[in-house]
Structure 1
Amino acid sequence: MGKQSNSTKETLVDKLLIEIESNLNNDQFGVDSLAQAVGMSRSSLHRKLNKTLGISTSQFIREYRLKRSLEILTSEDITASETAYRVGFSSPTYFSTCFHNYFGYTPGEAKSGIIADVDNQSLGTSTEILSVDTKNSNTKTIIWASIIVLALCSTYFVYKPFAKKDKVNIGGIQVLDDKSIAVLPLKNLTGNPDLEYISDGMTDAIISRLTKIKTIKKVIPFTSVQSYKKSDKSLKEITQELEVSNILQGNLQMSGNQIKINLQLIHGSSNVHLWSEEYTKEWKSDEIFQLQTEVVEGIAANMNAVIAQDELAEIKKNPTQSKDAYSYYLQGEFQRNKGNELSYSNAINLYGNAIAADSNFVEAYVDMANVWHMGGSVWGFYNEQIAWGNAKVLLEKALKIEPNNERTKEELNTGRFFYDWNFEVVEKFYQKKISNSKQNKPSVISLDYPIKTGRPEETLKAIEYYTLNDPSNVFYPFFKAEAMFYLGATDKANEILTQSDPLYNDNWFYLRESTKLYFYLGEYEKSKIQLEKITTQFPDYPPILMWLNAVYAQMDGNSKVTFQYLAELQNEYDKGSSGSPAWFIALYYGHVKDYERAFEWLQKSYDRHEVELLWLRAEPLLAPIRNDLRYKNIYEKVGFSSINLPIKTPSSN
């Protein structure tokens, strides 16, 4: 394809500048508004601007606002705060930060004439044009013509992108400035261990808000920094492990109804302190959220990361107006992250209290639904269909409150996959998700779903993409090893697990998946080691562990113990327990090549609608019977064929 012509580029530029100028003082006018105004999708507009100018749409808008602010400051008798509002910044403080980062001097210095050299391309004629007498009868025509002239005159000026700092001087050393950060869990210095949920909740909230800033290229999720809560590792070691440049650490204190947070931003590899600040607010919902916003703005400013106007609006968005609802919610999150049956029960009650205090609190609905979902599918705490029924009601309520909430849609489609086996609907959601370059958080739909539907190479692509933002996520190693296994790269799968074992030897999810995958790889001793770790470290004992114990007892020739474990599985099935006991009994008989009994239990698994039956297409132990009509019948009834995925041959993994 040839280069885009200058005339085409200028036509798009003119249209965009006219729209921005027309909405100059509207702080709600952002990327979505601009795209809609010129009849383009957000992604299409971003691609065109990036291709022609090498900048994003948000940067395009921001730079124009800043250039216009300089014109206003140097030509009118107006304060910096008034200028900020005139050019669409809702926060004068944030405006000053952006202005200084871009021009190298403050709005006050620009106003007072201290600056040595102002780029005259932005001044002169264009300033005169905008001072047209608006009382004239031909005002509207003149203004529109003026805006067009301004657009044409300002093209070069507006398109000079922000100076990109490839390197910054830290402590006298030139280091790469890649705008990446890990926020370590705030230390609870309240003197009350029961308030740990507040320090964790504040950490998570800061991280969540930071992820909305696109100029910060990497923000490590809360789940990945939790392991450093009591770690004695140096900041340099943490920086290297998480592959970030900056570390934010701090503590939380409370006195009466007052909350205080002390923070330090540190350049990890050099241990140089970049910034420190103390924030104090009352424990009220509006002040707590204001505190979180101020913290994020401070971090961004000191990382030279510019916040777009639409991003700032998202950062300032309060999830609830109820102090009690937020307190219950943070306690619920603290319990949910413990991941055991008692903590899940506590979390459900606490989320319920949050919803009772604020019936429009979307996050409380979604996280309670997640507890039901995980408790019914992964942990086996609740009856699968009852769990899904409860989760679905919560998610549908959340969507009525906030129809475009992506996390709610993600949770709902995960449930549609696991419990409803609605492949057609989930496939549409999956295709939309993988085509959306804005997605930066991993999920069951992006990692697990493609493996179970025979596309492990797509799981690898997703992991490669998500790892850039979160290299330490516990889900990546076993999903990557799993994908490699199903692609036939068994040596690589083994290597990935071997390297990851020391890092995640206390994580239930990793131990469970690595135990199973080592078994399929024929690494039985490694599998047994992982199995022993999980059974000795964690009290929960789902059917997958009963199955693995039965398999190893059979391989050791201990028929009595084998029978005991099979009896445990049978008992779980008879009780109607979740955790897919019928599926794992079928796998045991697949292992010993008793395929008649395997089919008997596969049918029972289908009748119970067990979630593990979704492994039917990929399961290695069932490869020899994939051409059997009974297998094909179950395959059809589950719904795999509805998305045109051919049954794998016995020789394929």
Structure 2
Amino acid sequence: QIRELEKTIAVLPFENWNTEEEYAHMGDAIANEIITQLSKINEFHVFSYTSTSQFKGSDKPSIPEIGKELGANFIIEGAVERQKDDVSIHVQVIQSESDDHLWAEEFKGKWEDIFTIRVEMTMRIAEELKVVLSTEEIEQIDKKPTENIEAYNLYLLGKFCFSQYDDKKIMESIKYFNSAIDLDSNLALAYVGLAQSYQILVRHSYLPRDEGYVKAKRAVSKAIELNATLGEAYANLASIMAEFDWDFYGAGQEFQKAIKMNPNSSEIYSSYALYLLWMGRPNESINTIKRAIELDPLVPVTNGWLGAIYFYADRYDESIDHFNKMLALFSDFNNYPYAYLAYNYALKGLRQEAIYYADRALSYTDTSDILFCHLGWVYALSGEISKAKEILSKLQELNMRQTVDPFQFAVVYSGLGEHDKAFDWLLKAYEVRSGMMVSLNIYSNSFFKNISSDPRYIDLMKKVGFEVD
């Protein structure tokens, strides 16, 4: 029966039996590492930690309920305890529908032997799930990321901080990744972590664009130089090439490499869907983001992109319906659905609804968030001119303390109908090579709808590298 079931696997957050603060990340780190190892086996479809992390703690649903919600036939859970140089990891595999415990084992050893323990756990899980591994899969599972155990520990700490998806925590992750690289300059995964961290911080206007993107590209290029088999590195490089270099053709080629290397990565499909959207291919983008959700159904950001793509494809009712479902499904992910509900209603001409959801989104949105300027556009379009100008004023204040992407000012001025000012800021965005300029194509029928027929807009699109009829 086990052999016949599709090997869809969810690794739940491991219980942490440590009391020391320095080992607080161990439960998350070990679960993440098991996910990484199992993902090297072609027959396994392993859900990401982002999807499974919500089932952390004693109040989680039953195993059959978790399996049904994720679409996972098998659940792996366990606990980890580390005492200085010693580590103990308890692992069990459960068939989700029947709640039958198929196998459980405790792995003990020295922390310096964690790579050997990691391999043993992976091989035993594969054996219990009746999977025969190929020579290539065994080689991938056996491969050590580093010979330096302290570098590996620092990498795990960086990965843990990065997974919090908080700008300050991501800054902290950079310190850990760099410290890991100081101990082992050949640790490719740490360079991938650095590249992803820098790119997100630039997108969130937390780092100056020039500094962040140059460091991101340098880091991801080094990762590929060290390990040419990392699909996530090629996807990261593709995003950087599109946003930073405006090399759309080259980015597409790198995405194809990434998908070929890791055809079951929700993260890669999600990034590729965004690229397809930038290229003005919304139908392909929708199919691609649906594939990402199919692979990893409970990632809020990925689900949010499906609703966003519906919006940019002028499918407003589908977008509204999707975001309403998201609000019910992800109670802690509010600002993004509220903001896009506001955008949809604004373009449908339903001012009262647009303002209502803009107000809701604003209560969850920081001034530095990219959503902030778009809410100014909603208020302007819906007749709340004073609120739009208030947002503009706050952006100007923020711009005196840190660099604000000029593109954000253009969005608000477009909503206010001040076309010349919108173009002044768009020109500045072009001059500093703002990553947001890749949105010109999809904004032409949304946030810049009222200026997109202007020759200046068409000229900017051509300069960025878009093909314009």
* TM-score of the alignment, normalized to the shorter chain, above 0.5: yes
Task: Note closer, same or farther for the CA distance 1:548–1:405 as it changes in structure 2 (3 Å cut).
Answer: closer
1:224 corresponds to 2:51: yes
Query: What are the superposed Cα offsets for residues 400-428 of structure 1, whole Å, 9 maximum, x if unpaired?
Result: 32244332222122111112212231133
Q: Following superposition of structure 1 onto structure 2, how do residues 421-570 of structure 1 map, counting pairs within 5 Å?
A: 421-431=246-256, 438-443=263-268, 445-507=271-333, 510-511=336-337, 514=340, 517-519=343-345, 522=348, 536=363, 540-551=366-377, 553-554=379-380, 559-570=385-396
**Higher gyration radius (CA):** 1
Give the partner amino acid of 2:107.
Answer: Y
User: What residue number does 2:410 align with?
Assistant: 586
Give the partner amino acid of 2:287.
Answer: K
Query: What are the superposed Cα offsets for residues 4-32 of structure 1, whole Å, 9 maximum, x if unpaired?
Result: xxxxxxxxxxxxxxxxxxxxxxxxxxxxx
Query: What are the superposed Cα offsets for residues 160-179 of structure 1, whole Å, 9 maximum, x if unpaired?
Result: xxxxxxx459xxxxxx7222
Deviation at 1:382, TM superposition (A): 0.4
**1-structure distance, mates of 2:220, 2:197:** 12
Deviation at 1:630, TM superposition (A): 0.8
Q: Following superposition of structure 1 onto structure 2, how do residues 132-147 of structure 1 map, counting pairs within 5 Å?
A: none
**1-structure distance, mates of 2:435, 2:424:** 17
User: What residue number does 1:402 align with?
Assistant: 227
TM-score relative to the length of structure 1: 0.66
Task: Note closer, same or farther for the CA distance 1:424–1:215 as it changes in structure 2 (3 Å cut).
Answer: closer
Task: Note closer, same or farther for the CA distance 1:534–1:396 as it changes in structure 2 (3 Å cut).
Answer: same
**2-structure distance, mates of 1:498, 1:527:** 14
Task: Note closer, same or farther for the CA distance 1:478–1:545 as it changes in structure 2 (3 Å cut).
Answer: closer
**Number of aligned positions between the proteins:** 464
**1-structure distance, mates of 2:357, 2:19:** 37
Deviation at 1:384, TM superposition (A): 0.9
Task: Note closer, same or farther for the CA distance 1:467–1:559 as it changes in structure 2 (3 Å cut).
Answer: closer
Of 54, 64, 79 in structure 2, the residue corresponding to residue 236 of structure 1 is 64
Deviation at 1:514, TM superposition (A): 3.5
Query: What are the superposed Cα offsets for residues 541-589 of structure 1, whole Å, 9 maximum, x if unpaired?
Result: 32534324434554676554433221122234455614x2x22222222
Query: What are the superposed Cα offsets for residues 142-194 of structure 1, whole Å, 9 maximum, x if unpaired?
Result: xxxxxxxxxxxxxxxxxxxxxxxxx459xxxxxx7222110001010112344
**1-structure distance, mates of 2:332, 2:357:** 10
Deviation at 1:325, TM superposition (A): 0.2
Secondary structure in 1 matching 2:295: coil
1:417 corresponds to 2:228: no
Task: Note closer, same or farther for the CA distance 1:182–1:404 as it changes in structure 2 (3 Å cut).
Answer: closer
Query: Contact conserved, 1:505 with 1:511, CA < 8 A, in 2?
Result: no
Give the partner amino acid of 1:271.
Answer: D
1:279 corresponds to 2:104: no
Task: Note closer, same or farther for the CA distance 1:401–1:431 as it changes in structure 2 (3 Å cut).
Answer: closer
Q: RMSD of the alignment, in Å? A: 2.7
Give the partner amino acid of 1:617.
Answer: N
Deviation at 1:331, TM superposition (A): 1.0
User: What residue number does 1:341 align with?
Assistant: 167
Of 5, 25, 32 in structure 2, the residue corresponding to residue 204 of structure 1 is 32
Of 267, 272, 289 in structure 1, the residue corresponding to residue 115 of structure 2 is 289
Give the partner amino acid of 2:230.
Answer: N
Task: Note closer, same or farther for the CA distance 1:294–1:513 as it changes in structure 2 (3 Å cut).
Answer: farther
**2-structure distance, mates of 1:363, 1:312:** 19
Give the partner amino acid of 2:241.
Answer: R
Query: Contact conserved, 1:494 with 1:521, CA < 8 A, in 2?
Result: no
**2-structure distance, mates of 1:510, 1:290:** 42
**2-structure distance, mates of 1:235, 1:351:** 35
User: What residue number does 2:216 align with?
Assistant: 391
Of 566-575 and 389-398, deviating more is 566-575
Give the partner amino acid of 1:201.
Answer: A
**2-structure distance, mates of 1:478, 1:262:** 35
Query: What are the superposed Cα offsets for residues 328-352 of structure 1, whole Å, 9 maximum, x if unpaired?
Result: 1111111112222321222111111
Task: Note closer, same or farther for the CA distance 1:238–1:531 as it changes in structure 2 (3 Å cut).
Answer: farther
Deviation at 1:389, TM superposition (A): 1.2
Give the partner amino acid of 1:345.
Answer: M
Task: Note closer, same or farther for the CA distance 1:418–1:515 as it changes in structure 2 (3 Å cut).
Answer: farther
User: What residue number does 1:108 align with?
Assistant: none
Task: Note closer, same or farther for the CA distance 1:460–1:552 as it changes in structure 2 (3 Å cut).
Answer: closer
**1-structure distance, mates of 2:262, 2:111:** 38
Task: Note closer, same or farther for the CA distance 1:237–1:393 as it changes in structure 2 (3 Å cut).
Answer: same
1:599 corresponds to 2:423: yes
**Structure 2 gap ranges (5+):** none
Give the partner amino acid of 1:272.
Answer: D
**Structure 1 gap ranges (5+):** 1-166, 170-175, 648-653
**2-structure distance, mates of 1:527, 1:275:** 53
Task: Note closer, same or farther for the CA distance 1:411–1:436 as it changes in structure 2 (3 Å cut).
Answer: closer
Q: Following superposition of structure 1 onto structure 2, how do residues 92-171 of structure 1 map, counting pairs within 5 Å?
A: 167=1
Query: What are the superposed Cα offsets for residues 53-74 of structure 1, whole Å, 9 maximum, x if unpaired?
Result: xxxxxxxxxxxxxxxxxxxxxx
**2-structure distance, mates of 1:532, 1:558:** 11
Secondary structure in 1 matching 2:79: strand
User: What residue number does 1:317 align with?
Assistant: 143
